[in-house]
Structure 1
Amino acid sequence: MSKKLVIVESPAKAKTIEKFLGKNYIVKSSYGHVRDLEKGNNAVDVEHNFKPKYAVSPEKKKVVKELKSMMKKVDEVVLATDEDREGEAISWHLCEVLGLDPKTTERIVFREITKSAIQKAINNPRTVDEKLVDAQQARRILDRLVGFELSEILWKKIKGKLSAGRVQSVAVKLVVEREREINNFEITNFFKVSALFKLRNEEGKWVELKAEYPQRLSTLDEAKKFLEDCKPAEFTIANIEVKPLKRKPAPPFTTSTLQQEASRKLNFAVKRTMMTAQRLYEAGHISYMRTDSIALSNDALGSIGRTIEQEYGSKYHQVRKYKNKSGSSQEAHEAIRPTNFNQRNLGTDSDQKRLYELIWKRTVASQMADAKLEKTTVDIDISTRQDDQLRAEGEVLIFDGFLKLYIQAKDDDDDEQEEAKGMLPPLQKGQQLDLKSMTGKESFTRPPARFTEASLVKKLEEQGIGRPSTYAPTISKIMEEGRGYVVKESREGEKRSYAVLTLSDGKINEKNETETTGATKNRLYPTDMGMVVTDFLDEHFEKIMNYNFTANIEKEFDEIAEGTLEWQTMLAKFYGPFHENVNQTLEEADRFKGERLLGKDPETGLQIIARISRFGKPLIQKGHFDEIGEEEKPDYANLRPGQSIETITLEEALKLFDLPRDFEPFEDKAVMVNVGRYGPYVKWGDQFISLPRGEDPFEVTQDRAYEIIREKKKADEPIMTYKGEPVTQGKGRFGPFLKINKIYVNIPKKYDPDNLTQDEMIELIEKKLEKEANRYIQKWDKEKVALENGRWGPFIRYKRKSISLPKKADGEKYTKEDLMDWTLEDVMEIVNKSPKK
C-alpha cells in the first residue's frame, strides 16, 4: 500500500489526526501559512491585473525544506488544512511551493477531528477549490492595497507609524461614534412610583404585594402630587389576567455568539475565546470554531436527542432544526458543537474545561423542550385617580424545559434585561388592598452602553462587516499599543444625588440619597488618536468608512467564492476610484491635527486649542501662530489621565497651565510640582518624587511638597548596613520592602514591617541575594543586557547575541559571588570588544 503524507496547519491538529490514521500515513504541520505577499509596496502588480508577488516567510523556509524532504519518502501528498477560505489558501500555497498540481493533489476537509470524520474525508477527497482561494486572495490583496495606501497618508498627514485598514478603521469608527453618542446624550430625570401592599394569604400569614405605576412622572412636583392623591385612596383589584408563556432556547453557537457568551459568562476576551476554542478543536473535542451557521447535522441531532432522553427524560427532548436567515453562511455547514455528547467535561486546563462546558450546555439545550410559564398581571384601581392604575406582575414556572440546563446571559446594561418576577399571593377581582408604603424614586435616562469586545463583535456582525475569521484579529489590531486607537479600561463613576419620596402612615417624607453613575468594567474607549484618525478618514475617504459599502465588499467576496464574480474585476472596480482618491488627498489635504477651539484665555486673549501634536500626543495650546507670530513659541500643556481633547472644557484646559508650579527652595534646592510621563511628581533639585496615588498635583501646597520631600528623605535613610552596603526601607505598589544596592527585597506578610529586627532584615536580604545569584542575572537594564548562566557556563545576552565571558586569569570557574560583583561597565566592555556579526 502506498505511503501518504498528510499536511495540516498546526502541530496539535497533526498529533490528533495521526491517532486516527494507520501506519501508511505520515502527518506533518505547515505551522499556518508558508508564504505571504512580499513586503513593501510592490507586492501587487496593479498594472498587470493585480498579479500578486508571494514569498516564503523567512521563518517558514525550514518548514518548507522539511516538507520537501518528507515528500521524497512518500508516494502521495494529501492536503488537510481547515475548511474555510484561509485553509483553502494555505493548501493552494503549499501546492505552489512544494511543486504540487492543485488540480490533481488530494484535498480532504472535515468539520471535526474525529475518527469517523477523518476516515470519511480520506475516502472522499477532492481537489483545491480555486474559487475559495480567489476569494481569500482578493481579500488579502484588497486589504494590502487599502492598508498600505491609507497608512502612508496617515504618516504624512497626521503622524508616523499609524495604520489604517478596510475593516479595522470601520471598527474604530463604531467605537468613536458610540463614545460621541454617549458624550452628546442629554440625561433627563424622571420619577417611578412603586407601592407595597400588605395582605393575608390562605394560611392567614401577612404577605406583601409589590406594584408599580407603569408610566414615568416628569418632575418632583408630579411625584408629590401622585403620592398626595394616594393618601386617602382606596386600592381595589380591577382585573387579573393569567397568560401562558413559552421561552425557547437559543440556537447553537456561531463564532460571534460564542465570543459574546464567553465574554458575559466567563469574562473571556475575544482573543482568549478563540485561542481556547482552537485548542479544543485541534484536540478533537469540538467542531470547527469559525462559522456563522446555526445548523446541526442529523448525526449530531440524533446524538443530542439520546443524551437528553438518558439524562432528563423524553419530555425534555424537542428536535429543532435551525437555519440561517440569510442562507449565505460562508463555507459554514454546521454550528460549533461538541464532537462527543457523552463527554460533559473535556479540556487540559481551566479555560478549555469552562469553554467546553459552555458549548456542551448551549448545544444540548438547543434541542430541549420550551420552558412553560404562567404570567399573571394584576391591575389595581386608585379611587382618587380615576385614569390611573397600578400594576403587579408575577410568573410561575410550570415546566422548566431547557432552563433545567442553560440560561442565556445578557449584557449587564442590556435594556431588554428583565427582572426576575416572583410568584404572586392568591388574589381576587374586587379585593381591596391595604397600602403599607408608596415610594416615588428619582431615576435618570441612560446613554447607550460602551462596547465590550463581544458587543463590538455583535455590532460588526449586524452591520455585515467582516466574517468569523476576522473578528478576533480586527479587535486585537485596533487595541495594539503601537496604534493606540482603542483601549479597554475600567473606570470609576461619579457620585450623583437623587430624590426619594416615601408615603407611609399618612405622611410623605422627602430625602436625598446618592448613587454611583457611569462606572464601567472592561469597556472599549476610543483614544484621542483614534478619534482624530477616524475624523480624517471620514472626511477624505467617506466611501471606505461607510458601513454599507464595507458590508457590500464582503458580499462580493462571497460571490467570488461562489464563482459568480471574477476577483480581478472586483478589485479593478474598487481600486481605480480609491487610488484616485488617495492621490487627491495626498495633494490637497493639509496636515490634520484634530484641532478644537475651546475659547480665549481671559488674561492674554489668545485662543486655547485642544489638538494632537506631531508626535501623536494630545495637548492644549495657548495661541495660534498667526496670533503670536511664527518666531514665538506657544505655551503647551499636557492633558491629565482621563481627559480628552474631545470633551475638555475651557476652564479645565486653562487649569492645566498652572503646572509646573514652583515653590520656595527646600534646603537650598529648587522645588517644583509637575506631571510627567509616569504621573504627577515633586521635583527637588535633580530628584523626582512621585506623588501618592490619587493626590491631585494642582492641590499640592508648598507645605505639602516639603512634607513629601521629608518623607522621601526619611525613606531613603539607611536603617542598617549589610556588608558595608546601606539598607533602606520603603513601601511600594507591591507592599513594604527593603532596598540594598538597587535590589528590592519584599517583606512578606508574616513580618511586621514597622518592627523588623536586624536579624530578620539580614535573613530576608540573604535569601534575596541568594535567589538573585542563582538566577545569574544583573538587573541593570534587562531589556538590553543580562548576565546569565547557560549549559556551557556564564554568558552575556545582548540584542539576541550570546557572548561568552573571558576565562579567569587563574583558570578557575566563575562562582556565584564573582557574577554578583560584576558591574554594567564590566559587562559592556566585553560586549564592545566582541566581534561584530
Structure 2
Amino acid sequence: MYKSLVIVESPVKAKTINQYLGDKYIVKSSIGHVRDLLKNQPKKIKKTKNSFFEHHEKKLLIQQMGINPYENWNVEYHILPGKEKIINELKNIANKVDHIYLATDLDREGEAIAWHLKEVIGGDSSKFIRVVFNEITKHSIEKAFQNTGQINMNRVYAQQARRFMDRIVGYMISPLLWKKICRGLSAGRVQSVAVRIITEREDEIKNFISKEYWKLNVSFISFEKKNILMEVTHYKNKILTLHDEKEVNLIIEKLKNQSFFVTDRKEKILYRKPPAPFITSTLQQASSLHLGFSVKKTMFLAQKLYEEGYITYMRTDSFFLSDYAIKKVRSYIKNYYGINFLPETPNIYLNKKNSQEAHEAIRPTDIEITDINQNKMNSDSIKLYKLIWNQFVACQMKPEKYKSIIIKVIVDKFKLKTSGNMMLFEGWTKILKTQKSIQNRLLDCKIGDNLFIEKFLPIQMFTKPSPRFNEASLVRELEKKGIGRPSTYANIITRIKDKGYLKVEKNKFYATKIGAILITQLKKCFTDLVDYDFTARMEQKLDQISDNKISWKKVLDMFFKNFLKQFEQAKKPPENGGMANNITILTNINCDNCNKKMGIKTAITGVFLSCSGYNLKSEERCKHTINLISLNDFNLAKKNDCFKKEPKRKCEKCNLIMDDYLINENLKIYICCNSPICTIYYIEKGKFESFFNSSKKLYCEKCQNNMLLKIGKFGKFFMCVNKTCKNTRKILPNGEISKPKLAPIPFPNILCTKSDAWFVLREGISGIFFAAHTFPRSKETRSPYVEELFQFKHLLPERLHYLADAPKIDEEGNKAIVCFDKLNKRQYVASKKENKFTGWSAFFIKNKWIISNKT
C-alpha cells in the first residue's frame, strides 16, 4: 500500500519526479485542468418587449456563462470531457493513501488546478498538502517536500477573478459584435488591448509622411595613410540639419578647399554590465531574435525543458536567483573561465514592481550540463537550452571593459566627428558575443594631426515610421504597458493571430480592416476595455487579490458595474449613442448578375463588394460578390515603380490616407480608412492587367476551369469557378502559388486505433499525413511510416514515389516515418524510439537519399 499520492499536471513531469521520490509515493498526472466553466458558446439573445436583463433573459445569460454576477458570483464548474477516467483513478488511489500532495505549477493557474483537484477528489481535506518547487531536480524536490503548505486560496481567487472577467467580456460583447459588425467577431479583456496596439501602429504607418534629409560624411586619409570616416554633425555649435541635395552641395563647396586638423581627442574607459538572467518576456524576445522561434513555440519548448528537469520554471517575471544557483555558477566560472572573469561579489538584479518575488529567473538546473543529448530532446529544445545556459552564466560574469575614442575636427564653424571602441577585457562577452565598433585606425590619431580629403560621401535618407510589431516587440510593448503577465503572453498572441484581426507576413503584424473597425467601436463604447492604463491597473488589482490586500468579489463587482453601464449604452441604436453598425457603402458599380448597385462591405474575410440585392427575400436574393485586391497586400510597389511614385490619396472629409484596392483589370477603388463611419470612396479607371496575369493563366488541375483570386481569413488564394469542384490553391508569402493539393487517397488496409475508421492519405501545409476517413467525426491523424507507403506505392502519384523508396528503418531497426521540414519546405524521413526522435534522419538530395545521423 502506498502512503502518499503526488499529483502533477503533466505526464512528463510525473515521470521525472518519480525518479526522485521513493516507493512510499505514487506520482500521477491530471493532464492539465480537470474542471472548468461551462463550454457553451455565447448565443445571440433575442430581445423581448422587456429590457435585456429581464429575469428569464438574465437566467439564460447566466447559464451560458456558468457564473452569476448578480448573486455573489456563484459559479458552476463542470468536469472537462474526457477527464472522468482520470478523476476516478485519482479518487480510488486517494482513498487508499494517508496524504495527497498537490504538486502543480507554482503560478496562479497551478494553484487553481490544485484547488480543483482537491474539490473533485473530495474526502478528508486534512489529507491534502500543497507542495511547490521551482525546478524538477532531486535537490529541489527533497527541499519542497520538507517545506510543504496548504493551498493559497488568495491565488486561487485571483485566478478566478481573471477567468470570470474574461468570460463576461467574451460572452456578453461577442453577440453584440455579431449583430452590429459581423459574425465571427469576439472581444477579449486583454486580447483587444493587444489588437489596439497593433492597429494604432498600423494607422501611424499608413498616415506617416516621409520627409527627405541628408547626411554628409567625409572620407579622410591620415599622414600614416590610414582611412578615417567622419560625419559633419554641427554648424555654429548647432546640430546640422540638411533638407536637400542643394544644401549638401553648398557645404561641400565650403569645405573642399579647407585644411583639416584633429582639434580634439577624448578617451574614456567604459564598462558594459552583463545582461540580467532571462524572465519569460526576455526569453521570448531573445528566442525570436536569435533562433527565429515564435512565442508559442518558445513556451512549448521551455515547458518540455522544465518537465524534463533541465531548467527552472519558465513563467516568471522575477530576476531573483537562489544562493544555491549563484554558488554553483560562480564555481563553474572560476573553474572554466578563470578568476579574472569572476566578480568579487555576485551580480544582483533588481525586480520590477509587482514581480513575483518567490519565483526565480529562468536558468539551468545544473550548470554542469552544457549540452543535452539529442536522444532526449529535439534540436530546437537544445538550441533554446543553450540560449538559457549562456545567458545565466554571462549574468554572473564581470563587465566588459572597453576604451571609447572620440575624434573631432572643427573648421570654418563646422564640426566633424567620428568615434570607435576598443575592447580591453571581454568579460561576459566571452560567452555572449556582441557586435562592436572597433576602429584601430583611431588609435594613432592625435591632436594636431593633418587629415587630407579623399572624397565627400553625401547620403540621401528619408524619415521612417515606427516599425511594425513582431511577436518579440509586441511582448516587450505589453510588458512595458503592464498588460498581461508571463503566463499569458503566448496565449494573447496566439488568440489574436487566430481571430483574423491581424495577418502575419515575414514575421511582422499587419492589422486587418475588420480589426481596425472592431477597435474603433470598442474605443467608443467600451473605453475601459481597451484602455491601456485601466488594463494595467486591473492586472495590479489581481496581484493585490493574490496578496490578500483586496477582496476578489469587490474587484469583480466594481468591474461588472462599470462594464454593464457601458454595455447597456452600446446596445442602443447608433442614433441614440449606441455602437455604430458596420453598414454597406453603396457605390455606382452595377452588379453583373442583377444590375443592382454593389456595396463596399467589410468582414473577417476582408473588404469586398457585395450586391445590394443580398438583403432581399430568399427567392430574389443576389449573392454576387467581387473580391477587392489590396495593393498593400500584394506589395505592388515592388512590382511596378509607377505605384511607388504616386502620392498618397487623402479623404476629402477626414483628411486621412485612403486604402486602395483593385476591382478588376480596369478599375481601382479608394476607400477612406475610416470607413464605414466615413462613406467617401473614389473610383479610378486605368490599365491594371499586369496584376491579374497570374489569375488569367491559372486553371484548375481537377476540372480545367478558370480559377479566380479570392481573399479569405487566412490570406489570398485561388478558387475554382466550378462550384461543385471547390478546388483551391493558396498564395504563398513570397507571391508564388502553392502546388496542387494531393487528392485524398484511401488506405482501407491501414486502420485507425481510436475508432473503427481507416486512414486516407491527405496533404496539408506541412506535407502528407494520414487522417481518419470519417473526419470530422473522428479526428485521428498521424504521420505515415515509410514501409506503409512502400507497401502501397501503386496508390501514390508519381511525385510521391521517392518517399516510398526512402529508408524504412535506421541502423538500430527503428521504423522511419515521414516528416516535414518547415524551414526548407520539404519532406524527409526520421526514426522514433519510444515515441521520441532518435536523431537519425534522411533527406532526398539530388535524386538520392542521404542519411544524417546526429547522436
In the superposition, the TM-score normalised over structure 2's length comes to: 0.71
1:329 to 345, 351, 355: 355
Contact 1:394 1:423 in 2 (8 A): no
- Find the aligned partners of 1:317 and 1:789 in 2 and give their Cα distance: 55
Say whether the 8 Å CA contact 1:295–1:321 is kept in structure 2. Answer: no
Instruction: Describe the shift of the 1:683–1:268 C-alpha distance in structure 2 as closer, same or farther (beyond 3 A).
Output: closer
Q: Return the alpha-carbon distance in structure 2 between the equivalents of residues 345 and 168 of structure 1.
A: 37
C-alpha distance 56-155 of structure 1, shift in aligned 2 (>3 A): same
Match of residue 285, structure 1, among 310, 313, 319: 310
Counterpart-to-counterpart distance in 2, 1:221 and 1:363: 53
Letter in 2 for 1:335: A
Could you tell me whether the CA contact under 8 Å between 2:545 and 2:552 is conserved in 1?
yes
One-letter code aligned to 1:193:
L
One-letter amino acid matched to 1:123:
Q
Report what 1:79 is aligned to: 102
The alignment yields a C-alpha RMSD, in angstroms, of 4.1
Pick from 628, 653, 678: which aligns with 1:639? 628
Change (3 A) 1:21 1:686: closer
2:134 to 80, 87, 111: 111
The alpha-carbon deviation at position 231 of structure 1 amounts to: 2.0
Q: CA deviation at 1:140?
A: 0.7
Where 1:563 maps in the other structure, the secondary structure is: coil
Q: Deviations over 1:421-471 (max 9, x none)?
A: 555241121111111111111011111011110110110011000100000
Aligned pair 1:264/2:293, yes or no? no
The answer for the alignment partner of 1:806 in structure 2 is none
Cα offset, 1:689, TM superposition: 3.6
**Are the counterparts in 2 of residues 612 and 619 from structure 1 also a CA contact under 8 Å?**
yes
Residue of structure 1 in register with 2:418 after alignment: 392
| Aligned equivalents of 1:801, 1:468: Cα separation in 2 | 35
Residue number among 641, 656, 659 corresponding to 2:663 in the alignment? 656
- Deviation per CA, 1:170-216, whole angstroms, max 9, x where unpaired? 00000101111111212111111111111343xxxx32111111234
Alignment-derived partner of residue 213 in structure 1: 232
Instruction: Give me the identity figure in percent.
Output: 35
The residue that corresponds to 1:612 in the other structure is 602
SS of corresponding position for 1:232? coil
Query: Superposition pairs for residues 655-804 of structure 1, below 5 Å?
Result: 656=663, 658=665, 687-690=704-707, 797=774, 799-800=776-777
Q: Report if aligned partners of 2:320, 2:351 keep a CA contact under 8 Å in 1.
A: no
Residue aligning to 1:717 = none
Matched letter for residue 484 of structure 1: G
Which residue of 528, 531, 535 maps to 1:546?
531
Distance 1:588 1:781, change over 3 A: same
Bigger mean CA offset, 394-403 vs 422-431: 422-431
Residue among 219, 224, 246 paired with 2:271: 246
Residue identity opposite 1:80 in structure 2: A
Cα distance in 1, alignment partners of residues 697 and 581 from structure 2: 29
**Residue 407 of structure 2 contacts residue 418 of structure 2 at CA under 8 Å; is this kept in 1?**
yes
Aligned with residue 470 of structure 1, among 488, 491, 500: 488
> Could you tell me which residue of structure 1 aligns to residue 461 of structure 2?
443
- Helix, strand or coil: the match of 1:59? coil
- The answer to whether the Cα contact below 8 Å between 1:235 and 1:434 also exists between their aligned partners in 2 is yes
Give the 3-state SS of the residue equivalent to 1:242 in structure 2.
strand
1:401 to 417, 427, 431: 427
SS state at 2:705 partner: strand
Q: Does the aligned pair in 1 maintain the 2:223–2:450 contact within 8 Å?
A: no
- Contact persistence 2:573–2:580 (CA under 8 A): no
Partner of 2:729: none
CA spacing shift, 1:552–1:781, aligned 2, 3 Å: same
Post-superposition offset of 1:624: 13
1:534 aligned to 519, 526, 542, which one? 519
Task: Give the alignment partner of residue 365 of structure 1, picking from 387, 394, 404.
Answer: 394
Counterpart CA distance in 2 for 1:308 and 1:435 is 49
Amino acid at match of 1:391: K
Q: 1:159 Cα shift?
A: 1.4
Closer/same/farther in 2, CA of residues 35 and 398 from structure 1, 3 Å limit: same
Change (3 A) 1:71 1:243: same
Once the two structures are superposed, residues 559-583 of structure 1 have per-residue CA deviations (whole angstroms, 9 ceiling, x without a partner) of 1000011111110011012122212
- Between the aligned partners of 2:613 and 2:262, the Cα distance in structure 1 is 71
Pick aligned residue for 1:173 from 196, 209, 228? 196
Deviations 1:66-116 (A, max 9, x none): 111222342321110011100000000000000055565111010011101
Partners of 1:598 and 1:297 lie apart in 2 by: 66
| Contact kept in structure 1, 2:280 and 2:317, CA below 8 Å | yes
Partner in structure 2 of residue 488 of structure 1: 504
CA distance in 2, matches of 1:20, 1:394: 54
CA positional deviation for 1:584: 2.2
Verify the 8 A CA contact 1:377 1:394 in the aligned structure 2.
yes
Give the letter aligned to residue 488 of structure 1.
Answer: V
What amino acid is the match of 2:408?
A: D
Q: 2:568 matched to 1:575?
A: no
Preserved CA contact (<8 Å) 2:7 2:101: yes
Secondary structure of 1:152 counterpart: helix
Distance 1:652 1:293 in 2: 44
Q: Bigger shift: 431-440 or 460-469?
A: 431-440
Closer, same or farther in 2 for the Cα pair 1:534/1:101, shift >3 Å? Answer: farther
Indicate if the aligned counterparts of 1:274 and 1:472 stay in contact, CA closer than 8 A. yes
Deviation at residue 327 of structure 1 after TM alignment: 4.0
Task: Name the CA distance, whole Å, in 2 between partners of 1:649 and 1:624.
Answer: 30
| 8 Å contact from structure 1 (residues 778, 820) kept in 2 | no
Task: Report how far residue 326 of structure 1 moved.
Answer: 3.5
- Per-residue CA deviations over 1:101-157 (Å, capped at 9, x if unaligned) read 556511101001110110111111101011111111111111111111111211111
User: What is the alpha-carbon distance in structure 1 between the residues aligned to residue 24 and residue 761 of structure 2?
Assistant: 55
Q: Which amino acid aligns with 2:450?
A: Q
Distance 1:619 1:125 in 2: 61
Bigger radius of gyration, 1 or 2?
A: 1
Offset at residue 322 of structure 1 (A)? 3.1
How far is the alpha carbon of 1:528 from its aligned partner? Answer: 1.4
Kindly state the Cα deviation for residue 596 of structure 1 after the two structures are TM-superposed. Answer: 10
Query: Residue 780 and residue 31 in structure 1: after superposition, are their counterparts in 2 closer, same or farther (change >3 A)?
Result: closer
Q: Is the 8 A contact 2:422 2:438 kept in 1?
A: no
**Which secondary structure state, in structure 2, belongs to the residue aligned with residue 211 of structure 1?**
strand
**Residue aligned with 2:78, SS:** strand
CA distance in structure 1 between the partners assigned to 2:119 and 2:170 by the alignment: 26
Contact 1:660/1:675, CA 8 A, preserved across alignment: no
In the alignment, does 2:546 pair up with 1:565? no
Q: Is 2:375 the counterpart of 1:349?
A: no
Contact 1:372 1:398 in 2 (8 A): yes
Paired with 1:336 and 1:275, the residues of 2 have a C-alpha distance of 14
CA distance in structure 1 between the aligned counterparts of 2:779 and 2:482, rounded to whole angstroms: 50
Quickly say closer, same or farther: Cα 1:258–1:528, change in 2 above 3 A: same
Counterpart position of 2:474: 456
Q: Does 1:20 align with 2:34?
A: no
Q: Alignment partner of 1:250: what SS?
A: coil
Q: Distance in 1 between matches of 2:399 and 2:450?
A: 37
Secondary structure at the counterpart of residue 365 of structure 1: helix
Secondary structure of 1:342's counterpart equals: coil
Relative to 1, partners in 2 of residues 1:422 and 1:533: Cα closer, same or farther, differing over 3 Å? Answer: farther
In the alignment, structure 1 segments of 5+ residues that lack a partner are 410-417, 491-521, 662-672, 694-731, 745-768, 804-814, 822-837
Q: By how many angstroms is 1:638 displaced? A: 2.1
